[in-house]
């Protein structure tokens, strides 16, 4: 999608999002080049809604709901089956000619999804003995016979891929990159008509150094996957959501067309022990995923989605910010002042309670999220316009006469010189678009 600024009507700034084209010009690092994920992927995954209790019937009705709610037409087209459809610890690759285990018919499910304009994603546990170093057989069945359109490769381990560690934990770092590279090669070798959206479900980009200790992220994830997990499993607690996005602080340069850091699926509409996110936390959650160009993968039961939650994930301006590309994926301002608690990832506890996240947009515009992740009745959060720069290039044409529009209401906040600040409630965020800056009076 391309984010474009429309005509001003009176003092208001009209923001339009054209969901048809995208500027995939300069990018920071070499990324996977299979023609897919030129913008952050959008879709739905079964795990947070159903755990291991998904079924063919649920997948069919979720597909129907994605169409009926209008989510498909907004770009939410990649629908994925997560873990639980098969016991990877006990069973080898499906035999040629099979349609799936009992109760499943993946060939017809993918055919039905394709008739709706949707795509089917699969899941495998890449470190289990029934899968490890048998990637070619799995790829042939899933993509050559079932016509699936994507796969999530989990790093949970069993046997030699654990590198001497306990089963059921993450694959040892020295085995992660080679395993993912074997999957990429196996998918490429399948005689298929579709390209395959490839997801690496590790925790960051552990280098293949042989060390089991946390290491600084490498750049191999974006080179070998269209989307790659940047942290652990999410849940619908605001502290966890902030912790997930905190892992991206200082790492905006790693994402771009073809490969995107993925802080797990959205928890909009879900609950933890009977308690879900508040409306302001829900909006902050969506805003943080949009400002960091994170894949927008829904994780709730769309069939029972509330109108308010649907409105948040359907907001065209928010989606436009997420899908836009102007050379940089988005990041936290001054992230270098808050080093990670270990060499592998950030943690919410070592980030400031208030922070500014930003992303450049085409046409000398930018988006900002002013986050208050802490307690209290509200805190002032602000920034200077000239701080919005990447590799010395300012995002805005000037620091004068800048119009700011609040995303959720669509209202223009005002016209500002030099900078902007506002009071943000605890566990909430201000999400705005800056445009029209002009040095002329």
Give the span between the Cα atoms of 269 and 12, in whole angstroms: 31
Sequence-distant (6+) residues with CB within 8 A of 17 are: 1, 2, 3, 4, 316, 317, 319, 320, 323
Distance CA 439, CA 441 (A): 6
C-beta separation of 81 from 123 below 8 A? yes
DSSP type of residue 397 = S
Please give the sequence-ordered ranges of beta strands (E in DSSP) within 49-88, or none if there are none. Answer: 78-80
- H or E stretch covering 367: strand 365-372
Which residue carries 């796969």 as its tokens? 151
Instruction: Give 421's strand partners.
Output: 382
**And the tokens for 165?**
């560690």
HSE of 260, CA atoms in CB hemisphere, 13 A = 28
pLDDT tens sequence for the chain (441 residues): 334 444 333 223 334 433 333 444 444 456 888 999 999 999 999 999 999 999 999 999 999 999 999 999 999 999 999 998 988 777 778 888 889 888 899 999 999 999 999 999 999 999 998 899 999 999 999 999 999 999 999 988 888 888 767 787 888 878 888 999 999 999 999 989 899 999 999 877 766 554 444 456 777 888 999 999 988 899 999 999 999 999 899 889 889 999 999 999 999 999 988 889 999 999 999 999 999 999 999 999 999 999 999 999 999 999 999 999 999 999 999 988 876 655 455 566 678 899 999 999 999 999 999 999 986 778 999 999 999 999 888 999 999 999 999 999 999 999 999 999 999 999 999 999 999 998 665
Sequence-ordered strand ranges (E) for 148-263:
150-157, 197-201, 227-229, 260-262
Strand partners, 237: none
Tell me how crowded residue 350 is: count the other CB atoms within 10 A of its CB. Answer: 13
């Amino acid at each position: 999608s391309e984010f474009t600024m429309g005509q001003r009507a009176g003092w208001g700034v009209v923001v339009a999002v054209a969901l048809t084209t995208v500027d995939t010009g300069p990018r920071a690092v070499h990324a996977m080049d299979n023609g897919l994920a030129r913008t952050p992927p959008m879709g739905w995954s079964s795990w947070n809604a159903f755990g291991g209790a998904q079924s063919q019937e649920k997948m069919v009705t979720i597909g129907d709901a994605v169409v009926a709610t209008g989510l498909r037409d907004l770009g939410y087209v990649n629908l994925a089956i997560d873990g639980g459809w098969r016991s990877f610890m006990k069973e080898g690759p499906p035999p040629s000619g099979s349609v799936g285990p009992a109760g499943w018919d993946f060939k017809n499910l993918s055919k039905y999804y394709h008739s709706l304009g949707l795509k089917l994603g699969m899941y495998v546990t890449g470190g289990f003995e029934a899968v490890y170093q048998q990637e070619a057989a799995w790829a042939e069945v899933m993509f050559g016979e079932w016509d699936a359109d994507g796969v999530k490769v989990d790093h949970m381990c069993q046997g030699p891929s654990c590198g001497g560690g306990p089963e059921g934990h993450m694959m040892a770092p020295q085995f992660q990159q080679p395993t993912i590279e074997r999957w990429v090669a196996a998918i490429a070798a399948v005689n298929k008509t579709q390209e395959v959206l490839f997801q690496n479900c590790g925790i960051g980009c552990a280098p293949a150094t042989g060390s089991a200790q946390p290491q600084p992220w490498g750049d191999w994830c974006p080179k070998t996957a269209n989307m790659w997990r940047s942290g652990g499993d999410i849940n619908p607690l605001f502290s966890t959501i902030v912790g997930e996005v905190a892992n991206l602080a200082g790492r905006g340069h790693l994402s771009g067309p073809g490969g995107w850091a993925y802080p797990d699926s959205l928890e909009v509409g879900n609950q933890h022990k009977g308690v879900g996110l508040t409306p302001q936390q829900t909006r902050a959650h969506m805003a943080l995923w949009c400002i960091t160009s994170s894949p927008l993968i829904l994780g709730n039961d769309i069939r029972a989605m509330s109108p308010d939650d649907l409105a948040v994930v359907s907001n065209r301006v928010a989606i436009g910010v997420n899908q836009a590309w102007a050379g940089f994926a988005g990041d936290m301002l001054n992230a270098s002042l808050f080093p990670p608690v270990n060499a592998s990832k950030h943690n919410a506890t070592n980030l400031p309670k208030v922070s500014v996240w930003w992303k450049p947009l085409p046409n000398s515009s930018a988006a900002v999220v002013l986050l208050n992740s802490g307690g209290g009745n509200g805190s002032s959060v602000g920034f200077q316009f000239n701080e919005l720069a990447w590799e010395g290039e300012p995002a805005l044409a000037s620091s004068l006469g800048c119009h700011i529009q609040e995303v959720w209401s669509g209202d223009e906040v005002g016209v500002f010189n030099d900078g902007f600040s506002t009071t943000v409630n605890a566990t909430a965020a201000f999400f705005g678009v800056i445009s029209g800056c002009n040095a002329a009076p």
